[in-house]
Amino acid sequence: MPLHPQAKQLLEIFGSLGLKGLKPADGNAQTVRDMFVNFPRPEGVAVGSVVAAKVPGSGGDIPVRIYTPPSVLITRPGLVWFHGGGWVFGDLESADATARALCMAADCVVVSVDYRLAPETKFPGAADDCYAVTKWAAENAAQLRIDAKRIAVGGDSAGGNLAAVVAQMAKAQGPELSFQLLVYPVTDATFGTVSYRDNALNYLLEKVDMEWFWECYLRTPADAKDPKAAPLQAADLSGLPPALVITAEFDPLRDEGEAYAAKLKAAGVPTECTRYDGMIHGFFGNAALDDGTKAIGQAAASMKRAWAHN
């Protein structure tokens, strides 16, 4: 279908602010970080409490924010959330509105992770940080008022990549996870899909951006074959937790996200895959887009169904 009018309007607003693609002209990661620090952000919904904490990691303490719905003394499921930004930018602030929305819609404790960024920290630093926080959440579930048997991981874009990777790591090393929420995830380091061809330009995330993100993140080209970087490269996906994969029609990452969903299904993993037609990368949780709110609701409903069986 054609580009949704709301998505088209959003792209026009981005264009008026000088934002066409995400790779800065000077190729400096700090440039894109500075740009997004000053970018307008919607105010998120109210939650019961927001608490800052630090989790020990192999590269130092990892900052997190813990979002709890009202009635903080109730034990609830937990979602460990990893923000997007191509492993290069993004932080707890950029993830705040989405974390709040998921906390309230799914009635769960959300632990949002401020993992180390590339290129200062190369692969597998971000994945190691995200796994460390997931393990910490399981080990400290009682203090966090989280049901240790109902812990999910999730993320958008590069965060979706990290969620898929952490799910694979947890399968091998624990803890046992109950769900994975993969929102237009990066799953492979190849750029030859139809969606890369058709959506290479003009839809916010561009092919050149992803090429640059991977260049920033990986240590060597050989890392692109490592499932810890590119989860689609994993030989065996059986035994992973149930998944919801969300993709957008006008997104270079569409096909690799859907390929990962298909591979999960083929491995016997209960998997739901939904493409939001007319939408662009970054739509999830965007209050300016009806489908952004709808997708939050779908994610919450899918997690609740999975948690009902745990």
The tens digit of pLDDT for each residue in 161-208 reads 999 999 999 999 999 999 999 999 999 999 999 999 999 999 999 999
pLDDT of residue 264: 99
Q: Would you call 281 a catalytic residue per the annotation?
A: yes
How many of the other CB atoms lie within 10 Å of CB of 71? 10
Number of domains in the chain: 1
306: closest CA among 79, 55, 54, 51? 79
In percent, the amount of the chain with pLDDT more than 90 equals 92
Q: Would you call 83 a catalytic residue per the annotation?
A: no
User: Domain range holding 16?
Assistant: 5-308
Look up the CATH number of the domain holding residue 140: 3.40.50.1820
194: closest CA among 252, 279, 277? 252
Phi, psi torsion values for 23, nearest 5 degrees: -75, 120
Q: Would you call 157 a catalytic residue per the annotation?
A: yes
| Catalytic hit among 83, 112, 129, 157 | 157
The tens digit of pLDDT for each residue in 246-280 reads 999 999 999 999 999 999 999 999 999 999 999 99
| Catalytic hit among 4, 94, 114, 281 | 281
| Catalytic hit among 128, 129, 251, 255 | 251
The tens digit of pLDDT for each residue in 109-154 reads 999 999 999 999 999 999 999 999 999 999 999 999 999 999 999 9
Alpha-carbon span 120 to 117, nearest angstrom: 6
